[in-house]
Amino acid sequence: MKINKIIYLILASFLLVFTACDSIVDEQNLTDSTDVAGVELIATQSTPGGNKITLKMASPGITGYWDYNLGQALTNEVTVVYPIPGKSTFTYVGSLGSKFFTKTIDVQIDQLDTRLDQDYYDLVSENTAAGKTWVFDGTAGSGKLWWFMSPPGSPDGAMTAWWNAGDCCGPSDATGKMHFDLDKGANFNHYETQTATPTKGSFELDPVNKKLTIIGSKMLGYAAGNKDGVYTIVTLTADKMVLYLSNNEANATGWTFVFKPQ
């Protein structure tokens, strides 16, 4: 009998120990501090219609970042000098607590009264609305390097010619032109010849990463271009522009384009 009592006491002790060791779980579910409609976005321009813009997400308890089209800012407030006139849409991407969201705000830019990166003026001229026309810096038989095959992989070899294609058999638009301007938008026109009807598109200039992207149209010398329209800027001054592709679709080599203002 004593043995049974001892066994019972031991079992009871184990039960007490295990009960005491059970963890207490405090389940906390993420809750939203507001809904998307309650997220307040504010855009403030330094002057009426000006291109220096402060973007602010003013609602408490929200975290996220701004996508201002030319880049991203991992903060609730950012000031940018925006280069494109007209109506632009800026996006805030954030978390309400339990879910992610995006919300946009439109800003009308009527004047570029805060100076841009110098690359914009070299590309489109100081008269940004009138813009600037570029042509190839050379013609067939001139011996100049203006449209040629170059080493792939890096712009470091952009001016090394593997084949001076332009000197013998240039592109169909060798005598054409292209025009850039910032008149109510980032406008780009490609002309197959000097008098041809233009193919209209737009452009994006990235001075930091040295990229020029042509959207909805063709770059001069497009026979050696890429469908994505993204070119590396090797040189961009007021009187010379050199662009490079590391792997053009036509030849799977590098290709270099050299332009001058008309």
Taking only the tens place, the pLDDT of each residue in 66-89 is 999 988 999 999 999 999 999 999
Question: What structural domains does the chain harbor?
Answer: 36-109 (2.60.40.10), 118-261 (2.40.128)
pLDDT bin (cut points 50, 70, 90) of residue 98 is confident
CA distances from 235 to 101, 119, 189, 239, 242 (A): 40, 10, 21, 10, 5
Range 181-210 average pLDDT:
96
Range 183-195 average pLDDT:
96
Higher pLDDT, 229 or 18: 229
State the pTM of this model. 0.82
Average pLDDT, the chain: 90
DSSP bridge partners of 149: 163, 255
For 31-35, 59-63, 128-132, 224-228, which range has the lowest pLDDT when averaged over its residues? 31-35
Tokens standing for 125?
A: 């001229």
**CA proximity to 205, closest of 223, 191, 184, 187:** 187
Q: Which of helix, strand or coil describes residue 62?
A: coil
pLDDT bin (cut points 50, 70, 90) of residue 30 is low
Taking only the tens place, the pLDDT of each residue in 247-258 is 999 889 999 999
Biggest CA–CA distance in the chain, Å, is 117
The tally of CA atoms less than 13 A away on the side-chain side of residue 183 is 12
In this prediction, residue 10 carries a pLDDT of 38
Residue 167 neighbours by CB distance under 10 Å = 19
Task: State phi, psi for 185 to the nearest 5 degrees.
Answer: 160, 175
Taking only the tens place, the pLDDT of each residue in 127-145 is 999 999 999 999 999 999 9
pLDDT bin (cut points 50, 70, 90) of residue 105 is very high
**H or E stretch including 124?**
helix 118-124
Tokens standing for 51?
A: 């291109």
Tokens standing for 80?
A: 């940018």
